[in-house]
Chains A and B, each alone.
Chain A
Amino acid sequence: MFRRILVPTDGTERSTGALEAALRLAALGHGTVIGVHASPPPYVMAPELGLAAPIHDAWRREREQLGHDAVAYIRRRAGEAGVPCETLLVVGMPPSDAIIHSAREQLCDLIVMASRGRGGLAGRLIGSETWKVLRHSAIPVLVLR
Chain B
Amino acid sequence: MADPASTPPATDPPPGSQSSSQPGSQPGSQPSTQPDKLPGRPLYKRILVPTDGSDVSAVAEHAAVEFARAHGADIVALSVAQPYPAYAAAEASMAVDPGLDNEALRDAAERNVRRVSAAAAGAGVACTPLTVFSHSPSDAILDSARDHGCDLIFMGSHGRRGLSRLLAGSETQKVLAGADVPVMVLRPKPAAG
Contact A28 B21 (CB under 8 A): no
Please, which residues of chain B bring their CB within 8 A of the CB of A94? 2
Scan B14-27; emit 1 where CB is below 8 A from any A CB, else 0.
Answer: 01111111111101
Asked, given contacts A30-B36, A64-B16, whether A92 binds B7 with beta carbons under 8 Å apart, the answer is yes
Q: Does A117 contact B (CB under 8 A)?
A: no
Chain A residues near B172 (CB-CB < 8 A) = 134
Residue of B20, B32, B173 touching A1 (CB-CB under 8 A)? B32
CB-based contact B27/A28 at 8 Å = no
Contact B24 A78 (CB under 8 A): yes
User: Would you call B10 an interface residue if the criterion is a C-beta within 8 Å of the partner chain's C-beta atoms?
Assistant: yes
Complex CA–CA separation, A85 to B18 (angstroms): 12
Name the segment of B105-113, B125-133, B176-184 touching the other chain. B176-184
Is there a chain A Cβ closer than 8 Å to B123's Cβ? no
A131:B173 contact, CB within 8 angstroms: yes
Question: Do A84 and B21 have beta carbons less than 8 Å apart?
Answer: yes
How many whole Å from A85's CB to the nearest CB in chain B?
A: 6
Which of B71, B177, B193 sits near A138, CB closer than 8 Å?
Answer: B193
- Is B119 located at the chain interface by the 8 A CB criterion? no
Instruction: Please determine whether B193 and A79 come into contact, CB atoms closer than 8 angstroms.
Output: no
Residues of A within 8 A of B27 (CB): 3, 30-32, 84
Indicate whether B89 reaches chain A with its CB closer than 8 angstroms. Answer: no
Contact A25 B12, beta carbon cutoff 8 Å: no
Q: How far is the CB of B22 from chain A (nearest CB, A)?
A: 6
Q: Are A97 and B1 in contact (CB under 8 A)?
A: yes
Report the bound CA distance from A25 to B16 in whole Å. 27
Contact of B39 with A135 in the complex, beta carbons under 8 Å: no
Indicate if B66 sits at the interface (CB-CB under 8 A).
Answer: yes
Residues on B with beta carbons closer than 8 Å to the beta carbon of A79: 22, 24
In contact, A21 and B182 (Cβ under 8 angstroms): yes
Q: Given A1-B36, A83-B25, A139-B187, 6 more contacts at CB 8 Å? A: A1-B32, A41-B7, A75-B22, A86-B19, A97-B2, A138-B187
Q: Could you list which residues of chain B lie within 8 angstroms of chain A, going by C-beta atoms?
A: 1-2, 7-13, 15-25, 27-28, 32, 36, 38-39, 43, 63, 66-67, 70-71, 157, 165, 168-169, 172-173, 176-187, 191-193
List 30 A-B residue pairs with CB atoms under 8 Å apart, sorted by A's residue number: A21-B43, A21-B182, A27-B25, A27-B39, A28-B39, A28-B43, A28-B71, A32-B27, A42-B8, A71-B18, A78-B22, A79-B22, A82-B24, A84-B24, A85-B24, A86-B20, A87-B18, A89-B16, A89-B17, A90-B11, A91-B12, A92-B10, A92-B11, A135-B169, A137-B193, A142-B185, A143-B176, A143-B183, A143-B184, A143-B185
